[in-house]
């Protein structure tokens, strides 16, 4: 595999597409905006899924599955919701094809028109709350803590693999509660679950915060978000958790008898992350040699390459190393392909982002050493075979924290506190987050976007500089502002 990828400096966008392609993560399909997730990409997604699923279950959630298709009328019940999703729905109108009697091949059978059109779920609040109406009657039925792993579809005009596709895979949690406080706490808890996962497993530092009214989910009262900063200075919303108030309970008439035998509407949350996380993962750590994966998500953590070819002596040494690594729960691959040269293999595993590479030749064995290369810093050293498993184990941990720390440094270095419009424009042009006062109106947000392409990312829950929040004046309008919020250009 030749290292034929565009460099970041030359064209960041093409660099991203090249990695997706050359590392075997995804490919385009003939269906507009829909990608094929290839086996290597899917193996990473499976690891993301398994870890998140465990965290959801540990916090008391169970999985279920709801229909793919939603009656058109359901969408219309919540006014903001339909406003948000109607413009990008795939609509099923018929249920049969037929051979055209006029010889035009296979066509839609006009007699198989549906009485009511169905849409492919863009998100499942409506079909789920219609179901919850049957499941919830009393406070004893609450809380209902359900998650669904599913595909959803939004007819996006401009798509990019993982980052924005028409169909994507995600999980959507939908919970029902007896009180506002409990629902609010759930929405915040899931934001923390996401944050801990993304920071500790994906090695991506985050700003946690609340969205402004304009950026809220369609139908939510509060939307919490985690925002990451990519290497090109653009922010990426990586997950959201919504406090839905009683909006969907009212739209679908879901009430419960409380402990005092009084009827109340149910309180709701929903929260989701998607295959978009794969896009964040790729962009966050990778370089001009290809993908860089944090060890905790790498399907193969260590690859061993015999130099120049496998032989009995090398095989015996490798077998011992592999046994030791596997005993430590480290996934390892021994590449015995005789048709490919070591240099070719090195380039291939660099492209695929395998965190650690061991190369073993005859002379290494004679000296009781092995060459250890780390993918993140592109360094190599000669390490004694004795104790090699412990060394690799520690190295994987070092790589995991190194990836997080360098990403955090980059993020912090590119978060700028600004006071004037000129400073704001300069910070956005340079790339990264601008922490700025804003007058709190959607009008100003839209004007800022028009002028700079920057959008409000969040009102962070913790001050990015570890300082107290202060009042001030809006960078654009000069009107009073209670506090600063984060702006950036975003994916």
Residues of the shown chain interacting with a copy of itself in the complex, contacts defined by CB under 8 A:
27, 29-31, 34-39, 42-43, 45-46, 62-76, 82, 86-99, 105-106, 108, 117-120, 127, 130-131, 134, 146, 150-151, 153, 155, 167, 169
Residue 191: closest CA among 217, 171, 209: 209
Phi and psi at 276, nearest 5°, equal: -55, -30
Q: How far is the CB of 429 from a copy of itself (least distance, A)?
A: 35
Q: How far is the CB of 227 from a copy of itself (least distance, A)?
A: 27
H/E/C letters for each residue in 81-124? HHHHHHHHCCEEEECCEEECCCCCCEEECHHHEEEEEEEECCCC
DSSP 128-146: HHHHHHHH--BGGG--EEE
- What lies within 8 Å, CB to CB, of 15 at 6+ separation is 5, 6, 7, 8, 288
- What lies within 8 Å, CB to CB, of 86 at 6+ separation is 75
Which residue, 72 or 489, is less far from a copy of itself as judged by CB? Answer: 72
Q: How far is the CB of 236 from a copy of itself (least distance, A)?
A: 21
Alpha-carbon distance of 62 to 159, in angstroms, equals 32
Q: How far is the CB of 382 from a copy of itself (least distance, A)?
A: 34
143 preceded by a cis bond (ω within 30 of 0): yes
∠ CA 354-360-365, nearest 5°, is: 150
Question: What is Dmax (Cα atoms) for the chain?
Answer: 81
β-bridge partners, 459:
210
Q: How far is the CB of 166 from a copy of itself (least distance, A)?
A: 8
On whether the CB atoms of residues 316 and 4 are closer than 8 A, the answer is no
Which residue, 44 or 407, is less far from a copy of itself as judged by CB? Answer: 44
Which residue, 44 or 360, is less far from a copy of itself as judged by CB? Answer: 44
Residue 431: closest CA among 451, 410, 409, 450: 410
Residue 194: closest CA among 182, 208, 183: 208
Which residue, 147 or 231, is less far from a copy of itself as judged by CB? Answer: 147
Residue 254: closest CA among 246, 242, 245, 244: 246
Q: How far is the CB of 74 from a copy of itself (least distance, A)?
A: 8
Which residue, 97 or 316, is less far from a copy of itself as judged by CB? Answer: 97
Q: How far is the CB of 26 from a copy of itself (least distance, A)?
A: 9
Which residue, 36 or 426, is less far from a copy of itself as judged by CB? Answer: 36
Helix (H), strand (E) at residue 240: strand 235-245
Q: How far is the CB of 172 from a copy of itself (least distance, A)?
A: 14
Which residue, 71 or 431, is less far from a copy of itself as judged by CB? Answer: 71
Which residue, 336 or 382, is less far from a copy of itself as judged by CB? Answer: 336
What the block records as the tokens of 409 is 């440094």
Which residue, 33 or 306, is less far from a copy of itself as judged by CB? Answer: 33
449: exposed, middle or buried (Cβ count in 10 Å: 0-12, 13-18, 19+): middle
Which residue, 32 or 320, is less far from a copy of itself as judged by CB? Answer: 32
On whether the CB atoms of residues 144 and 132 are closer than 8 A, the answer is yes
Q: How far is the CB of 82 from a copy of itself (least distance, A)?
A: 6
User: Could you give the C-alpha distances from 434 to 16, 73, 141, 240, 454, in angstroms and in order?
Assistant: 25, 42, 45, 21, 9
Q: How far is the CB of 269 from a copy of itself (least distance, A)?
A: 17
């Amino acid at each position: 595999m030749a290292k034929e990828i565009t460099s970041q400096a030359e064209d960041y966008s093409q660099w991203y597409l090249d990695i997706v392609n050359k590392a075997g993560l995804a490919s385009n399909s003939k269906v507009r905006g829909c990608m094929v997730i290839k086996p290597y990409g899917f193996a990473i997604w499976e690891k993301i899924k398994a870890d998140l699923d465990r965290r959801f279950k540990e916090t008391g959630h169970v999985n279920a599955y709801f229909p793919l298709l939603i009656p058109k009328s359901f969408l219309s019940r919540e006014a903001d919701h339909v406003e948000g999703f109607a413009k990008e729905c795939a609509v099923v109108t018929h249920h049969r094809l037929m051979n055209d009697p006029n010889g035009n091949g296979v066509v839609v059978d006009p007699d198989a028109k549906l009485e009511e059109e169905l849409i492919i779920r863009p998100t499942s609040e409506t079909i789920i709350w219609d179901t919850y109406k049957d499941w919830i009657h009393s406070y004893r039925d609450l809380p209902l803590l359900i998650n669904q792993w599913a595909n959803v579809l939004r007819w996006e005009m401009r798509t990019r693999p993982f980052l924005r596709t028409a169909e994507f895979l995600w999980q959507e949690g939908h919970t029902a509660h007896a009180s506002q406080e409990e629902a609010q706490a759930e929405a915040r808890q899931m934001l923390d679950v996401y944050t801990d996962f993304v920071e500790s497993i994906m090695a991506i530092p985050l700003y946690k915060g609340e969205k402004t009214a304009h950026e809220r989910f369609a139908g939510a009262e509060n939307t919490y978000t985690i925002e990451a900063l990519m290497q090109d200075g653009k922010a990426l919303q990586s997950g959201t958790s919504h406090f839905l108030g009683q909006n969907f309970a009212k739209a679908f008439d879901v009430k419960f008898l409380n402990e005092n035998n009084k009827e109340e509407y149910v309180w709701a949350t929903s929260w989701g992350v998607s295959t978009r996380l794969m896009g964040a993962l790729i962009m966050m750590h990778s370089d001009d040699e290809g993908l860089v994966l944090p060890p905790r998500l790498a399907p193969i953590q260590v690859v061993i390459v015999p130099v120049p070819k496998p032989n009995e002596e090398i095989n015996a040494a490798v077998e011992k190393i592999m046994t030791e690594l596997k005993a430590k729960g480290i996934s390892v691959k021994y590449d015995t392909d005789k048709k490919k040269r070591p240099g070719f293999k090195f380039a291939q595993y660099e492209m695929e982002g395998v965190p650690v590479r061991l190369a073993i030749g005859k002379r290494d064995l004679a000296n009781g050493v092995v060459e250890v290369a780390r993918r993140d810093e592109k360094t190599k050293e000669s390490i004694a075979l004795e104790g090699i498993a412990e060394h690799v184990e520690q190295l994987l941990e070092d790589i995991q924290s190194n990836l997080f720390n360098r990403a955090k440094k980059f993020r912090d270095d590119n978060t700028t506190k600004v006071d004037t419009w000129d400073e704001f424009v300069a910070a956005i042009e340079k790339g990264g987050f601008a922490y700025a006062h804003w007058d709190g109106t959607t009008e100003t947000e839209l004007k800022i976007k028009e002028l700079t392409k920057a959008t409000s990312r969040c009102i962070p829950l913790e001050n990015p500089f570890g300082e107290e929040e202060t009042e001030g004046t809006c960078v654009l309008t000069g009107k009073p502002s209670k506090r600063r919020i984060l702006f950036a250009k975003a994916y």
